[in-house]
Structure 1
Amino acid sequence: MTETLLSPARTAERLPYPALAAEIAALLEDPAVQVPARLVQALPGGGSLFVMPALDGRLAITKLITFTPANAGTGRPAIQGDVVVFDIATGERRLVLDGPTVTARRTAAVSLLAAQTLAPNPDGPLLIVGAGVQGKAHLEAFTAGLGVKEVFIASRSTASAEALAAHARTLGLQAEVIANPNAALAEAPLVVTCTPASGVVLRTEPRPDAFIAAVGAFTPRMVELAPELCRHLAELGTVVVDTRDADHEAGDLLQARLDVSRFASLQDVLQAKKNRPPGPVLFKSCGWAGWDLAAARLALPA
């Protein structure tokens, strides 16, 4: 009997990072892909319900996710839900993927694809700010897809940072927990910020060959990067957004009073097929149901 409801572990097995990054790139070349605007419904208590549909010529998916910031420190995950995959021709439900696992892996795979395409110095070392689920996913993705060998980890929770560093060492990396991520910018050409985005975590100007993937802020009120840092990167480097949805969601850029619509999207960059731009690069990721569709395509091959 075909397995339909996948556990987190089984979902992860079907979504290896390099293959998922390649599938995301293929999806951005597929004219059959349609991604309606996602519904974000505020919930009592400060949480949100996300309803995120997408389809191509073969599959239709909907991701149903709850985001509950109040779960921090309770042992319950902040993100919960599922990705339901349907066959368009028959209407049959083909697969149910674990939503948090898909979210973590496709977000890290998008950052990986952006780094593969845009990073001036993709070898690392890597600086990760935020040692939660996304910190772990990005560590694994950049290790698998770029061959990173050294990582610096900063987190408000020392225990979480130490746990992620220990995991990095099991992957063969040199790992160091640091207290001040801004000081590490001088040593790390690869940077990922994946915090709860409740306040600025990076202010210092990065290296000229830096690639920064800012992941945590996906609403206008959330922020990880100081406005002056965003303006510096926009003036002297290159800013790329994951999709045009970032125009009204990219908190870091909006709070810097930048016109987000003037920045290229990842799809624009891939289709232009130009050389890596000079200077530092900021990749602002906000999330998109198309990435979940790419995960479904990889998990349920034709």
Structure 2
Amino acid sequence: MSDILLSAAATAACLPYPALADELAASLTDSAVTVPPRLVQPLPGGASLFVMPANDATVAMTKLITFTPANAGTGRPTIQGDVVVFDIATGTRRLVLDGPTVTAHRTAAVSLLAAQRLAPNTRGPLLVLGAGVQGRAHVEAFVAGLGVREVWICSRSPASAEALAAHVRTLGAQARVVDNAAAALPDCPLVVTATPASGVVLDARPREDAFIAAVGAFTPSMVELGPAMCRDLMACGTVVVDTRDAEHEAGDLLQAGVDITALPSLAEIVRESRPRPAGPVLFKSCGWGGWDLAAARLAMLRVCAEA
């Protein structure tokens, strides 16, 4: 068991962001990838159990995680669980990855892939709303994958913002903590919203060359971006969803009355090699088992290479 059960640190080591973004792109063009709808089981107290299976021709995996919003601010993680990876040919369980680490890395790598394909301006500064696990992962991904050298951080917790700023500096980038995200938009072409999505945190017009990755809201009741901002980006820019599942999960867009069925998905952008759009871009990410499968594939490759 010790050979296949990877700690959070060992899981992270298997999933460097640039390589994971490449694996995500490869999985989107792999016809063998199968991803059934995820099961979301409501739990008492407002928590949820997520069951997310997927497979390709050689690897099968299931992510089992709990999402417990009540843990916020308690020192306990809001997301806990595992990703179990199997070899299809033998049925053997090959790896058990740390679920929260996979979630953080694959979510940030999806945003990185979207930015690589869609962002009009990848130089930064990067504005990050939310200084938790996802905020940290996105900073690491954009520094490693885009070469961002300046990060602005806005968080309702000054201590968390300062801690993330200190981490940014260890990555070789400059960091600044700001109090007003809307006021920072004119200076930041790259924006990530990675908050608990309990209410609108941004409702302002971005730069004409802005790329916004909204990742905090992944249920119909959650929201980070204001309705006016979503509708404005629909009118004057481009809105892309991570997968078709966003049609019933993207709270920001659903609450703004956006026709999500008419929006392109990241898979279509990658498969069709669509040109980089003009004007501001909103990338709405809700999560998908296929992203976890890509992480499992990369982890398998790296573990086998080291064996």
With normalisation by structure 2, the TM-score equals 0.97
Q: Secondary structure at the match of 1:201?
A: strand
Q: 2:284 maps to what in 1?
A: 284
Q: For 1:144-163, list aligned pairs within 5 A.
A: 144-163=144-163
Question: Tell me, which stretches of 5 or more residues in structure 1 are unaligned?
Answer: none
SS at match of 1:264: coil
Listed as ranges, the matches of 1:1-302 within 5 Å are 3-301=3-301
**Cα offset for 1:3?**
2.0
CA–CA separation in structure 1 for the residues paired with 2:18 and 2:272: 22
* Inter-partner Cα distance in structure 1 for 2:74 and 2:198: 18
Structure 2 unaligned runs (5+)? none
Q: Deviation at 1:172? A: 1.1
Q: Secondary structure at the match of 2:44?
A: coil
CA distance in 2, matches of 1:259, 1:108: 25
Which residue identity lines up with residue 241 of structure 1 in the other structure? V
Separation of aligned partners in 2, 1:29 and 1:283: 20
Greater than 3 Å deviation, 4+ residue runs? none
Deviations 1:41-69 (A, max 9, x none): 00001100000000000011000000001
Read off the aligned partner of 2:265 and give its amino acid letter: S
Secondary structure, counterpart of 1:117 in structure 2 = helix
Q: What CA distance in whole angstroms lies between the structure 2 residues aligned with 1:2 and 1:163?
A: 32
Distance 1:77 1:253 in 2: 27
Task: Name the amino acid aligned to 1:196.
Answer: P
RMSD: 0.9
Per-residue CA deviations over 1:134-186 (Å, capped at 9, x if unaligned) read 00000000000000000100000000000000000111111000000000000
* Offset at residue 2 of structure 1 (A): 7.9
Please tell me the residue identity of whatever aligns with 1:27: S
Q: Distance in 1 between matches of 2:274 and 2:132?
A: 34
**Secondary structure, in 3 states, of the residue corresponding to 1:208?**
coil
Post-superposition offset of 1:272: 1.8
Instruction: Give the letter for the 1:18 counterpart.
Output: P
Deviation digits for residues 199-254 of structure 1, max 9, x if unmatched? Answer: 11111100000000000000011000000000010111000000000000000000
Structure 2 distance, partners of 1:169, 1:291, is: 29
Separation of aligned partners in 2, 1:98 and 1:31: 27
Q: Which amino acid aligns with 2:230?
A: C
- The AA in structure 2 aligned to 1:272 is E
CA displacement, residues 248-290 of structure 1 (integer Å, 9 cap, x when unaligned): 0000000000110100000111122122101000000000010
Q: Hey, what's the Cα distance between the residues in 2 that align with 1:275 and 1:91?
A: 41
Structure 1: distance between partners of 2:279 and 2:73:
39
